[in-house]
Amino acid sequence: MEKKAKRPCMLIVDDVEINRTILEEYFKDDYEILHAEDGQQALDVIEENNIDIILLDLVMPVMDGIEVLTRLKQNSRFASIPVVATTARNEVESEAKMMELGAADFITKPYHPTIVRCRVRNVMARLENEWRKIEQAEQKVQFLELSRKIGEDPLTHLYNREKFCTAAAELMQKNSDVKYAIVYLDISHFKVVNDLCDIETGNLVLKTAGACFAHYTKDRGICARLEADHFAICMPLDELKMDELISAVDEDMQMLVLPHTILFYAGVLPVENVFLPVDQMCDRAHMALSTVKDNYRKRYAFYDDKMRERMMDEQMILREMEYAIEQKQFTIYLQPIYSTVKQCDTSAEALVRWTHPTEGMISPDRFIPLFERNGFIVRLDHYVWEEVCRLLADERAKLGRVVPVSVNVSRLDFYDENLLDFFLGLMKKYDLEPWMIKLEVTESAYTDNPQQIMKTMKRFQEAGFKFLMDDFGSGYSSLSMLRNLPVNILKIDMKFVQEIVTSYRAAKIMEHIVQLAHDIKMDVVIEGVETKEQVEFLQDIGCDEIQGYYFSRPLPRDEYLERLAESPIVGESMELSEGW
């Protein structure tokens, strides 16, 4: 005889017997029915039985439905039992209170059989669905944990990072007479795939790549999915053909016919020391990859000692940058901008230098690009701006006049909505005026976020500040910049200057740029001037203000002030501010 399945248990709580009888009639075929006449009795029944659902009246003697529900939700043993409140039509506030306390639903009197059954059925279906989700999540956790234990990536079935590091070390140490390579691969802008498509498509890309790498290595080596879209391969160096590997994965990606081109980039470490931790080998291969990432003409690179030296240098800089700024190891140097007409310095550019206690002078080429990548450039810029304002205040106090100084404003600075307020705060703190400090913006900063930068620049100009376009001619959209960007002064890139004496084309381009700037009422500064011939040419084409080693190298603060003290007071920019 077939064993009958156990039915779920329903508790009906109501002080009116006819109501309990009606509800029992609706559900007696599907549930084992228990009754309670008041709230206290209901709690006793719940304590002694396994209840699957409760139909709970709101208004009862001894203990009402709200009190019962409150106690149930406070008890971890019973909090998950679904409660359907039974109410009269005029008990709206009580219904809201029950729902806030966690009632799954409510039914109103007089009862409509179909509605009552549907609401209870829906509550139980939701509960079953929640339990199914929990069960699936638990199964997934168990599966992932099992995969981790056996060293397998659950998506691609390749090794995971932990297993790869162990297996690669064993493989290389066991075959010490064979020279191995570690290859680190990842996808350029993989996030775009998930954004344009969906997670399933992204997973398909990863599984396809994993199958490609597994087929390529076969019995020659091992491969792994380290995390996300990052893969690694360990195989003999003389059997590794990188062009062949890149072509193979490209072909497999093209077969997927996706709306976004999938490009893998790779870094290769020829292993010299098989006892080096494999994680460190992967880091070095990844470093090589970073040198070609997003380069459409070069898809892989080999690690060398220069990369390691650069990595160590970058680690030192990142480790010490905070301490350096606190200890004022960063200092400003000033390179004068000289007027050949007025025969004096009419302004200067502030340049930052890092004097390290053991490394000595660290070139800006070593730390500025790194700071621009990690965002520390914003803090350094704020530091430089304040140092310049302090210099200008000292200059006014000692010399009775001020020569304007230009400072660099990085592209990341323009994301700060309070940028103008910060500068105005400096003006007030050091009793300066906006004309005393000029702001240099590069063409590349404009192309990164044109609308925001234009909006910010106009606000600055309305407050009395002036802008220079730095490195004009170093990019590809310079004429468009002139049309759109509200700059006051054009600062021409030194690359033009280096060729004006030897190249007819360079000379003509320089001549017409200067003329164009003057025609649209812009001043011009030429930087990088080093020879007398260059100065004479620039004077001939009407360029007056010149910056470069021919007139002065960048000077430390005190030397710069000494130079100004010996300079004649000429030019509008040298005049005292009104009220001094």
145 belongs to a structural domain: no
Most confident option among 85-89, 93-97, 344-348, 477-481: 344-348
Count Cβ atoms below 10 Å from residue 345 Cβ, excluding itself: 26
Ranked by mean pLDDT, the top range of 9-18, 34-43, 207-216, 305-314 is 207-216
In this prediction, residue 141 carries a pLDDT of 60
Which one of 103, 132, 161 terminates a domain? 132
Kindly report whether the peptide bond that precedes residue 113 is cis, defined as omega within 30 degrees of 0: no
For 327-449, where are the alpha helices, taking DSSP H only? 364-374, 377-399, 419-429, 443-448
- Please tell me the least confidently modeled range out of 10-14, 103-107, 514-518: 103-107
- What mean pLDDT, rounded, does the chain reach? 86
Q: Which range, of 145-159, 183-197, 272-286, 434-448, averages the lowest pLDDT?
A: 145-159
Query: Within this chain, do residues 466 and 495 fall inside the same structural domain, yes or no?
Result: yes
Domain assignment of residue 144, yes or no: no
72-130 residue pLDDT tens: 888 878 888 888 888 776 666 666 777 777 788 888 888 888 888 888 888 887 777 77
Q: How far is 511 from 383, CA to CA, in rounded Å?
A: 37
Per the CB < 8 A criterion, the answer to whether 84 and 10 are in contact is no
Confidence at residue 495, expressed as pLDDT on a 0 to 100 scale? 73
* DSSP characters over 118-159: HHHHHHHHHHHHHHHHHHHHHHHHHHHHHHHHHTB-TTT-SB
Whether the predicted pLDDT of 476 surpasses 70: no
Check whether residue 555 and residue 468 sit in a common domain. yes
Range of the domain at 285: 151-303
> Per-residue pLDDT tens for 240-254?
999 999 999 999 999
How would residue 575 be classed by pLDDT, with cut points 50, 70 and 90? very low
Q: Which helix (H) or strand (E) holds 407?
A: strand 405-408
pLDDT per position as a tens digit, 437-451 = 999 988 777 766 677
Residue 41: what residue type? Q
* Residue 414 CB partners (closer than 8 Å, separation 6+): 445, 449, 452, 453, 456
pLDDT value at 475 more than 60: no
Q: How confident is the model at residue 139 (pLDDT cuts 50, 70, 90)?
A: low
Q: Give the CATH number for residue 338.
A: 3.20.20.450
pLDDT reported for residue 388: 97
Q: What are phi and psi of 431, to 5 degrees?
A: 55, 55
**Residue 138 in domain:** no
**CATH number of the domain where residue 81 is located:** 3.40.50.2300
Least Cα distance to 527 among 435, 411, 440 occurs for: 440
Q: Following DSSP, what letter does each residue of 455-478 receive, concatenated? A: HHHHHHHHTT--EEEEEETSSS-H
Read off the pLDDT band of 461 (50, 70, 90): very high
Helix (H) or strand (E) holding 346: strand 344-356
- Asked if 376 and 369 touch (Cβ cutoff 8 Å), the reply is no
- 120 and 234 both lie in a single domain: no
Helix (H) or strand (E) holding 80: none
**pLDDT tens digits, one per residue of 359-384:** 899 999 999 988 988 889 999 999 99
Q: With respect to residue 573, please indicate whether it lies within any of the assigned structural domains.
A: no
* Same domain, residue pair 50 and 86: yes
323 shares its domain with 293:
no
Q: Does any domain span residue 38?
A: yes
Last-in-domain residue among 98, 132, 166: 132
Q: Who wins on pLDDT, 199 or 230? A: 230
Please compute the mean of the pLDDT values over residues 173-195 and round it to a whole number: 88
Which of 35-39, 191-195, 210-214, 497-501 bottoms out in mean pLDDT, i.e. has the lowest? 191-195
CA distance readout (Å), 101 to 84, 97, 414 = 12, 6, 49
Beta-carbon count within 10 A of 114 CB:
9
Considering the domain architecture, whether residues 525 and 464 belong to the same structural domain is answered as yes
Q: Name the residue with higher pLDDT: 98 or 409.
A: 409
Counting residues of the chain whose pLDDT is more than 70, the rounded percentage is 90
Pair (356, 277) in one structural domain: no
Domain shared by 490 and 537, yes or no: yes
Longest dimension (CA), the chain: 116
Q: Are residues 442 and 542 in the same domain?
A: yes
* Selected residue with higher pLDDT from 78 and 430: 430
How much of the chain, in percent, has pLDDT values that exceed 90? 44
pLDDT band at 134 (very low <50, low <70, confident <90, very high): low
Residue 224 falls inside a structural domain: yes
Q: Residue 259: its pLDDT value, please?
A: 76
CATH code of 260's domain: 3.30.70.270
Confidence of residue 210 (pLDDT cuts 50, 70, 90): very high
pLDDT band at 576 (very low <50, low <70, confident <90, very high): very low
Of 128, 71, 28, the closest CA to residue 56 belongs to 71
Residue 574: which pLDDT band, with cuts at 50, 70 and 90? very low
Query: Last residue of a domain, which of 70, 105, 132?
Result: 132
- Tell me if 3 is assigned to some domain: no
Does the pLDDT value for residue 231 go beyond 90?
yes
Quote the pLDDT of residue 146.
Answer: 53
φ and ψ of 495, to 5 deg? -60, -35
| Domains in the chain, number | 3
pLDDT tens column, 489-511: 988 877 777 778 788 888 888 88
Query: Is residue 83 located within the same domain as residue 197?
Result: no
- Rg, the chain, Cα only: 37
The mean pLDDT of 148-158, rounded to a whole number, is 81
Beta carbons within 10 angstroms of residue 478's beta carbon: 17
Residue 519 lies in a domain: yes
- What pLDDT shows up at residue 333? 97
Same-domain pairing of 179 and 107: no
**pLDDT confidence of residue 1:** 44
Return the pLDDT at 520: 87
**Nearest in space to 318 (alpha carbons), one of 383, 376, 358:** 376
Domain co-membership, 319 together with 299: no
